[in-house]
Structure 1
Amino acid sequence: MDWTRGHTIGHGSSASVSVAKSRWSDEVFAVKSMELSKSQLLQKEQKILSKLSSPYIVSYKGYDVTKESNKLMFNLMMEYMLDGTLSDEIRRKDGRIKEPLIGYYTKQILQGLEYLHTRGIVHCDIKGQNIFLGKTRAKIADFGCARWIDPVERDSCAEPIGGTPMFMAPEVARGEEQRCPADIWALGCTIIEMATGGSPWANVTNAASLLYRIAFSGQSPEIPKLLSLQARDFLSKCLTRDSKERWTAKELLKHPFLEESNLNCIANQDFVTSSPTSILDQDIWNSVEESETMDFSIQTVCSMDSPFHRVRELGLNSGEFNLKWDDDERWITVRRSSE
């Protein structure tokens, strides 16, 4: 594919995401790029994403290797979701999404998770920042920490523990296993994020104490009392500490909280409120490793090391971006078929 790279819309220590467009069709998509010699995780993400096709998963567009500034770059091309992330939407709604809309997003995330789980894939990093919004639906994105359940599909080396500490299930925080139930726990934490605009765990002082609390305290995140009885019951099925007792995506899709009758009131409501240009002023994409802040909910761990060790080492930069779509000087040609 011949394409040109636009402005960067997200970056970490070694990966960046840019808006890009085809030279022949003017199709706009997103490109996640890393230096080829450091792109093992991005290549794994490409391998997983290339095998997926679902209306609830961000679409795969292809990959290539380019030479830029005397460096070989591995580029993963994906669907560009114009309206940002679920976390952006929470901020647009002043930190709290109304319950019917929570149900609407939750059902679509679950449909994406059921699709992944039936194909033997665990996402490992479900959270508001990795759910992207379009005009009609929410889609799961960022498979940098995803893993295959089937050992045949795995690499020969041991799979790393991956994800965001604030959203980790107890069995993951203990380093025991990371399978489909871990995604369901993270979904429960994401629902709390939607309902309150805050993190699922309160009064956290540092990542190590957070992981210890999740792993060994016997506690689950507090279920917001502002939610209905049905919503709270749904959350309790997601946030069961015993992974074997946690409901599956298939079971949760049949829960009364997600019945269509409960969602009719949003049929005429705008799905999102952003515009094509304003969304690019926000940090809407996250690399495999994300910016470190005092809020541990936006840190991502994806390493062979323990979560306790890795969470202390994360420290990445973030920035503000602005793209003018009609300014040709802001696009650079990355690859031409004639060359």
Structure 2
Amino acid sequence: MFDLTALRLAATTVYQSMSPTPQLAWPLLAEQLGCTVWVKHENHNPTGAFKVRGGMLYVQGLLSREPQTKGLVTATRGNHGQSLALAARRHGLTISIVVPEGNSLEKNAAMRALGATVIEHGKDFDEARSHAATLAVDHQLHLVPAFHPDLIRGVATYALELLEAVADLHTVYVPIGMGSGICGLIQARDLLGLNTEIVGVVSEHADAFAQSVEQGRVVCTASAHTFADGLACRQPLPESLEIIAKGAARVIRVSDREIAYAMRLYHETTHNTAEGAGAAALAGLIKEQSQQQGRRVAVILSGANIDRRMYAAILDEDMSPNWPK
């Protein structure tokens, strides 16, 4: 996919637009979970999510290959779209972004504020993605995919930062949407010659990747209804599945209730905001905490972009001592 030199070059490009994000070991998380917990704070990025790294690298690479490009189109639930909107604005390109109907109002507003034209279409990401492809043909726009080597190499720079900053990590938990984040992490680990196990985390309500890994083939689900919209994939891509199946120790499922608990725990122990997908990795660690006692573990807080009303309602729920059931 890419070598270590290419990854370090990607980091140089990314750092023209942002600083490296911190990885912090939080004492209260360690106290609650019985292991050292390093949090990779991708919520501290310019768009509040890890995707910005890939967007910057992708658009720069596109313009070097196709300098005549004037306009982009893509589909998103929000973070991928914000990353591309920021990159498009910096390079003077137009961009249309298709989101499913009922998408996050605040993510939509953020994309519009970055200069994007936001189009609502379809019941979920996959229908939005199909409409984006149609718009690309009809209006001669460049269609930006959800998964591409430059997107992976860009987001893999977060993994390079984490794995070079924190030695002897036993396990890293990472959310899976379309797969760029976990694939970048797997590649960075392999390039550094580490034995760290990587555990992918999906929603039990959007578990197409988990089913696909278990069955050794692409399995599509009829729906992907989870409030953690960054996990809402029902049609895995074969190329990302191949990397995950080969490089991840396992892919585990968490419930929306478990994700909401992890969001509250982040707030209580670190005072950081996590969106649903951003908290999924911590939910995965909590689910497997008996397996990680005394170990050095990292979780990827991949994003913080959640609508205020939803976040307030989640924080207001009772953190029952009987959780989880």
TM-score interval w.r.t. the shorter chain?
A: under 0.3
Larger RCO (CA within 8 A; separation ≥ 6): 1
Max radius of gyration: which structure?
1
TM-score by length of 2: 0.28
